[in-house]
Amino acid sequence: MATTTADSKPASPSGRPSKSYANLLRELAITDYKIKYQGSFLGGYIWTIAKPLLIFGVLYLVFTRFVRFGNGVPNYAVNLLLGIVLWTYFSDATVRAMASIVERGDLIRKVYFPRMIIVIATSLSSLITLAFNLIVVAVFVIFSGVGLQLTAPLFVLLVLELYALTLGSSFLLAALYVKFRDFKHIWELGLQLLFYASPIIYPLSFVPSRYQALFALNPIAQIIQDSRRVLISPTTLTPLDVIHSPLVVVPYAIPIVVLVVGYLYFESAASQFAEEI
Amino acid sequence: MQTDVAISIEHLTKVFRVPLERTTSLKQLAARGFRPAGSRRLEALQDVSIEITRGEFFSVIGPNGSGKSTLLKIMAGIYRPTSGRVSVTGLLSPFIELGVGFNAELTARENVFLSGAILGLSRSLVAERFDDIVRFSELSDFMDQKLKNYSSGMLVRLAFAVAIQAHADILLVDEVLAVGDASFQEKCFDVFRRFKKEGRTIIFVSHDMGSIQEFSDRVLILNHGRPRGIYSPAGAAVEYSRLNEEHANRLLSDSKAAPTSATSSRPRIVSVEMLDGNGQTTHAIQRGQSATIRLKIANPQREPVNAGVAIYRDDGLHCFGTNTVISHAAVPTDAETVLLLDYQCMDLQHGTYWLTVGLFGGRLGTVYEMLERLYSFHIGQSDAYEGVVYMHHQWRTPDQPPQLAH
C-alpha cells in the first residue's frame, strides 16, 4: 500500500517495478536522440559527427594558419579535437537538460514517474552523440601517428567523471530553470566563460606557470588534460603536475559534489514541478 | 488493513497558491527584495473523504473547475495533498489522459512503444501485443505515418488502444470519450465492461452523465471542490440536474438582484426550462424527439424586446442559435410574458448541451441580459451515427426512387 500525505514524497503508482522505469528511461533517451535530428536532410549520424568536426576545422584553421600558435604544439590537431568533443558534450548536454523538464511539462502534469528520468534520459541521449564523436577521435588518434597509449583504458573513468559532472549540473539547471527562466542566459554566459577558462583551444602549458594551478582546479580542465594524457601524450600537464598541495583533490571532487548537490536539490523541487510548470 | 479497499482518501484538501504575478526572472525577484510574491489561495479540493472498493466502477462528476481532475492527479501521485491522506492498494495505471507523451514527429509505431513505456509496459510486452493494439485502433494502414499527420480521432484510437494494455488493478480515466465517434465509443465501453468483469477498479471522471450512468457503481458529485455526496447512478443524475438548476437559479437571482433602479425596471428573464413532448420539465431528450423551451420574461416598462436562445455543446461548440428578430416572431409587450420555442426534432448527437439565453432591446443593440450556460440537458442516441448533428439521409442505387421529401 502506498500512502501520500502532505509531507511524504508522492506515492509512486504503487507496486510499479523499477524495471519499468528503466524501460521508460531507455525509450525517452532514444526518443530524445531521434527528435534532435528530426527532419534533417543528412540524418542524425552525420550531424552528430559533423558539428564538432566543423568547429574543429574552423578553430584548427584559425590557430594554425592565422594566429599560428598551434604550430608549436605537438599533436595540436588531435588535442584540439579531443578537447572540443568533450566540451561539446558537456555544453550540449547541460543546455538541453536544462530545458528538459519544462519541455516535457505535458508529461509531468499528466503522468507520475520519477522526474529525474527525464533529465537522465536527456543526458544519455547526448552520451550517444559523444560515443559517435569519440569514434572520430579514435580514428584521428590512430591515423595521426600518435598511436594508442597503454593508459587508454583509464579514459573510461574520465568519461564517467565527465558524465557525473554533466548529470549533476543538469539536475541543478533543470530544477532552477523551472523557477527562473533567466538561467538560460546565465548558463549561456557561464559556458562562454568556462570555454575560454578551460584549456580547449590552447594547451595548459601556455598558461603562465603561476596561474596553472588555478586553471587546473576547474574539473573541465582536469578532465580534458587527463584525457589528453591517457590518450595522446604522457607529457600533457595534469593537475597532479601543477597543483602541489592537497588541493589537488578539488577538481576530482567537484563532479561528485555537484552530482550529490544537484540530485538533492532536484529531488526536493521535483514534487512541485507539476504545479509550477 | 482491509484488503478490499483499492483507494482510501481521508480529509483530502488541496490548495493551490496562485501567484498574483508569476516570477520567472531573477530581476522580478530582486525587485521585490527576494520576498515571496503575494499569492491567492485557490481551494481546489476541500475535505474529501472517499473509500473506493476493489472492482468498483467509481465515477466523479462535476462542473468545470470543480476539482475532478485535481482529485485524479492526487490519486496518481502527480500532485501532493495539502492536507489529508491518500492510500492506494494495488498497481495503479497512470492513464490520466489519452495520448500523453505522444510525439508528433515520430511514427505511430514508435509512439506505441513510447506510450507503452510511459504506462509501464516493457518493450517485449508491447511487441507481443502490437498486433492487438493495431487491430483495436483500426489504423493498420497508418502505423508508419508520423503522428503529426493524424486526425484527432485517429490519435484517440491509437492512444486508447495502447492505454487498455496497461497492466493495472486500478485505472484512472479522465474524459477519454470526449473525442471519438459513437462506434469507437461503443468499443471503449466494451473494454470497460470487460475490465469490470475482470474485477479491475476504474475511477472515471467525466461530465457526461450518459456514460457515467451506464457503468458506474457509485458516483461522487463535486462542486467547487467540495463533495456534494456519493450517489447511485440514478440518484446522481437527479442530483446533478438539481445542481445545474441551482446554478441556473443563482444566475437568474444574481441578475434580479441588480442594485440600481435604472436596471430594476429593465426587461429580464425570470425562468428558463426545457419541456419534453408531454410538457414535463426535462434534462434528457432522446435524439429526434421534440422539445420546447419555455422562457418567462418580466418587462415592467413594456419595452420592445428580442429574446434569443443558443445551444452549446459542453466543449463550447455553438450548435444552433435563434432569436425572435431573425425568426420574425412577435414578442408581446406585456409586463410578464411567457415565450415558447418549439424544436421539432432535436437532431443533435449524444452528449451534454447547454442553453444560453439572452434578452435584447429591439434589434440586438442593447443587451438587457445574457445568461450563459443557464440550463443543461443531455441527448441520448441509440444508434452509431457519427458527428455533431443527425442529417436525415437515405442510401440508394440510381434505380431506387428517392424517399426523402425535397
What share of chain A has pLDDT > 90, as a percent?
47
Task: Please say whether the beta carbons of B297 and B278 come within 8 A.
Answer: no
pLDDT at A13 over 50: no
Residues B133-158 as b or e (16 or more Cβ within 10 Å = b): bbebbebeebbeebbeebeeebbbbb
Instruction: Quick: pLDDT tens for B308-355.
Output: 999 998 878 899 999 988 888 888 888 889 999 999 999 998 888 889
| Mean pLDDT taken over chain A | 87
Distance CA A224, CA A17 (A): 39
Nearest chain B residue (CA) to A111: B94
Instruction: Quick: pLDDT tens for B90-132.
Output: 888 766 677 777 888 889 999 999 988 888 888 888 999 999 9
Identify the H or E element spanning B247. helix B233-256
Q: Which residues of B touch A180 (CB under 8 A)?
A: 23-26, 29
Confidence of residue B1 (pLDDT cuts 50, 70, 90): very low
pLDDT at A257 over 80: yes
**Count of CB atoms situated within 10 Å of the CB of B332:** 12
Nearest chain B residue (CA) to A26: B117
Confidence of residue A41 (pLDDT cuts 50, 70, 90): low
Distance CA A28, CA B317 (A): 36
Instruction: Quick: pLDDT tens for A121-173.
Output: 999 999 988 998 999 898 888 888 777 788 889 999 999 999 999 999 999 99
Q: ipTM greater than 0.85, yes or no?
A: no
What are A's interface residues with B at a Cβ cutoff of 8 A?
1-6, 8, 10-16, 19-20, 23-24, 26-28, 31, 34-35, 38-39, 106-113, 179-182, 271, 274-275
pLDDT of residue A227: 95
Confidence of residue A31 (pLDDT cuts 50, 70, 90): confident
pLDDT at B170 over 80: yes
Mutate to test the interface with A, among B2, B78, B83, B155 (most CBs of A within 10 A): B78
Distance CA A241, CA A39 (A): 47
pLDDT of residue A115: 92
Question: Which residues share a beta bridge with B322?
Answer: B309
Q: How far is A138 from chain B (nearest CA, A)?
A: 33
| Mean pLDDT computed over A68-93 | 87
Residues A188-226 as b or e (16 or more Cβ within 10 Å = b): eeeeeebbeebbbbbbbeebeeeebbebbbbbbbbbbbb
**Residue in A5, A13, A180 closest to B24 by CB:** A180
Task: Please say whether the beta carbons of B7 and B57 come within 8 A.
Answer: no
Distance CA B46, CA B21 (A): 25
pLDDT of residue A8: 59
Q: How far is A2 from chain B (nearest CA, A)?
A: 5
**Residue in B1, B26, B120 closest to A180 by CB:** B26
Residues A240-263 as b or e (16 or more Cβ within 10 Å = b): ebbbeeeebebbeebbeebbeebb
Residue the block writes with cell 467509481: B58
pLDDT of residue A220: 97
Instruction: Quick: pLDDT tens for B284-304.
Output: 888 999 999 999 998 888 888
| Mean pLDDT computed over B29-52 | 80
Q: Looking at the complex, does the CB of residue B380 fall below 8 Å from at least one CB of chain A?
A: no
pLDDT at A186 over 80: yes
DSSP string, B44-64: EEEEEEEEEETT-EEEEE-ST
How far is the CA of A164 from the CAs of A101, A114, A139, A178, A261, in angstroms? Answer: 19, 19, 26, 22, 12
Q: Which of A81-95, B247-261, B325-339 has the lowest mean pLDDT?
A: B247-261
Ranges of each domain in chain A = 25-276
Cell readout for B374 is 443557464
Cross-chain Cβ contact A16/B120 below 8 Å: yes
Distance CA B188, CA B191 (A): 5
Q: How far is B139 from chain A (nearest CA, A)?
A: 22
Q: Where are the alpha helices (DSSP H) in chain A?
A: 18-36, 44-61, 76-103, 105-110, 116-143, 155-179, 183-197, 209-216, 219-231, 239-242, 250-270, 273-276
**Residue in B94, B96, B105 closest to A35 by CB:** B105
| Mean pLDDT taken over chain B | 84
pLDDT of residue A10: 47
- Phi, psi angles (nearest 5°) of residue B248: -65, -45
Cross-chain Cβ contact A5/B27 below 8 Å: no
Task: Please say whether the beta carbons of A196 and A87 come within 8 A.
Answer: no
| Mean pLDDT computed over B23-50 | 76
Q: What is the CA radius of gyration of chain B?
A: 25
B348: helix, strand or coil: strand
Long-range pairs for A20-24 at CB < 8 Å and ≥24 separation? A20/B117, A20/B120, A20/B121, A20/B122, A21/A113, A21/A114, A21/A117, A23/B117, A23/B121, A23/B122, A23/B123, A24/A113, A24/A117, A24/B117, A24/B118, A24/B120
Domains of chain B: 5-19+38-237 (3.40.50.300), 260-380 (2.70.50.60)
Q: Looking at the complex, does the CB of residue B173 fall below 8 Å from at least one CB of chain A?
A: no
| Mean pLDDT computed over B270-280 | 88
Sign of CA dihedral A8, A10, A12, A13: positive
**Count of CB atoms situated within 10 Å of the CB of A84:** 24
Burial class (CB in 10 A: 0-12, 13-18, 19+), A234: exposed
Beta-strand relationship, B268-275 and B284-286: unpaired
Q: Looking at the complex, does the CB of residue B93 fall below 8 Å from at least one CB of chain A?
A: yes
Residue the block writes with cell 447547454: B354
Instruction: Quick: pLDDT tens for A94-116.
Output: 999 999 999 988 888 888 889 99
Q: Which of A199-203, B164-168, B175-179 has the lowest mean pLDDT?
A: B175-179
- Phi, psi angles (nearest 5°) of residue B121: -95, 145
Q: Which residues of A touch B78 (CB under 8 A)?
A: 10, 108-112, 274
